[in-house]
Amino acid sequence: MWRVKSLDAILATAEKKSLQRSLGAFQLTMLGIGAIIGTGIFVLTAEAAQKAGPGMMLSFVIAGFVCAVAALCYAEMSAMVPVSGSAYTYSYAVMGEMLAWMVGWALILEYAVAAGAVSVGWSGYVVGLLENALHMDIPDLLVRGPFDGGMINLPAMGIALLVTALLVVGTRESAAVNAFLVCIKVAALVLFIVLAVPVIKMENFEPFSPLGFGGISAAAASIFFAYVGFDAVSTAAEETKNPQRNMPIGLIGSLGICTIFYILVAAGVIGTVGAQPVLGADGAGLRPGSPELSAACAALGDAKVVCSKEALAWTLREIGWPQIGNLIGLAAGLALPSVILMMMFGQTRIFFVMSRDGLLPPILSTVHPKYKTPHIITMITGVFVALFAAFFPVGILADISNSGTLFAFAMVAVAVLVLRRTDPGRKRPFRTPAIYVVAPLAAAGCVYLFFSLPLDTQIMFAVWATIGLIVYFLYGYRKSHVAHGEPGEVHELDADAPPGPVPPMPGV
């Protein structure tokens, strides 16, 4: 179970498929901004406010810092091993098959559960738009899951199934369409900041941390979701001019700009409508997405931003800009489905690579004879994403997704350190600066955020990991191609991913 996939063979594949180095620091920074800004800031602002109150501004800084040090580690690995499979491939090459399997298993949480979270976020904005712009009254029973005061979230389930159908058919999304959607998201946030920041009232920032630093840490662990996507910059290392200079600028620049964006948005929400959490009878904050919070919000008439499913649009309506609030809802409704598509495509890619390595049944890498897409694994993934979206609130799904992402990022940080010791002479187009400081900080930061997640999320991750180990020892351990002396199963860039849509990178 400690057998590794030959790094030399993987790199030989990459050299055959070397790409033109054309990206500079500015292009990388813009790529990163487009990849990072997404559902997190549109949806999880209310979740963060319920956990930390105005202190969520500090939460954005903490989550951004952990992402920055993790991104620098990610950049070294992706520059050295520029092939598909992400953290799974890196771990297979450095730390052995079992840990690679666990990383791949954790990435299921990152991609599939995140796609469910984005679907729920999309539903909140679209339902809010329909109710406010068209004056429709849609029953909560049909647009919220059972944890959130409803029965089933039909719009979220519907959009997940629609995206699944598109992925099976193989619809391509052009770079021009993706760029347009990125512009919509950024323009919506800029418009929010321009309208909200000038009317901030400083008294709304008191008390700054009503639930203490523990609340700030819990919010940071949740809104980590708002930063995932920076690996889009890391994976562009092979196409970057002077990567040693431009990769850090692109990574840190995009994360820094997004953090400023996020802090300004958070300040706009806090300063205009307030962001104090709803407390229970014992004085503790009620958990976001819980029946208790739903009941408390119903009693308050949903008069707090922490009760909203569309925090930014709701805030603008409250401060006298109802039509602009509706436009924000429209922007989210237009842009977020492409995020769901990207996350589900990423999930099928991970499954596809693991299946090709023999760790999952080969039927999962079956390609449709007409559409040339991995239809079986796409449909399986789509059904589970739709079920997640139908029955769970966005905060719980984001926390579960974060648990898998944090584990994968921590493993990448460890892999960079291990490879520096075991193979110091290997060519590294980008070298993580101050590696013996940055990599431990990245791993420790991921562990800190993981243990800041709710206890039931940590338990759920442990159960998921246990199930993964059982599956590995019952199937993957015996069926692995490497175990049968077939290390040549190295997948080229064009063969590694299934045919079909080129995934957009519009952020989570």
Asked whether residue 6 is domain-assigned, the answer is: no
Asked whether residue 508 is domain-assigned, the answer is: no
pLDDT at 85: 54
pLDDT at 175: 57
Asked whether residue 506 is domain-assigned, the answer is: no
Largest CA distance in the chain: 67
pLDDT at 23: 76
Cis peptide before 207 (omega within 30 of 0): yes
Asked whether residue 485 is domain-assigned, the answer is: no
Tokens found for residue 27: 């292009």
Q: With a cut of 70, list the residues of the chain below it in pLDDT.
A: 1-7, 9-21, 82-86, 171-176, 178, 231-232, 234-239, 483-508
Rounded to two decimals, the pTM is: 0.86
Half-sphere exposure of 353 (CA within 13 A, CB side): 30
pLDDT at 174: 54
Answer for the pair 258, 265: CB distance below 8 angstroms, yes or no: no
Q: What is the DSSP string of 286-325?
A: PPTT-HHHHHHHHHHTS-SGGG-SSHHHHHHHHTT-HHHH
pLDDT at 71: 87
Asked whether residue 276 is domain-assigned, the answer is: yes
Distances (CA, A) of 215 to 20, 205, 395, 448: 46, 15, 15, 13
pLDDT at 489: 44
Quote the CA–CA distance of 413 and 439 in Å, as a whole number. 5
Alpha-carbon dihedral angle through residues 217, 222, 226, 231, given to the nearest 10 degrees: 90
DSSP SS3 for 240: strand
pLDDT at 2: 59
Per-residue HEC secondary structure of 74-116 comes to HHHHHHHCCCCCHHHHHHHHHCCHHHHHHHHHHHHHHHHHHHH
Convert the pLDDT of each residue in 255-274 to its tens digit. 889 999 999 999 999 999 99
pLDDT at 281: 84
What CATH number corresponds to the domain at position 30? 1.20.1740.10
User: How many domains would you assign to the chain?
Assistant: 1
Residue 411 lies in domain: 24-480
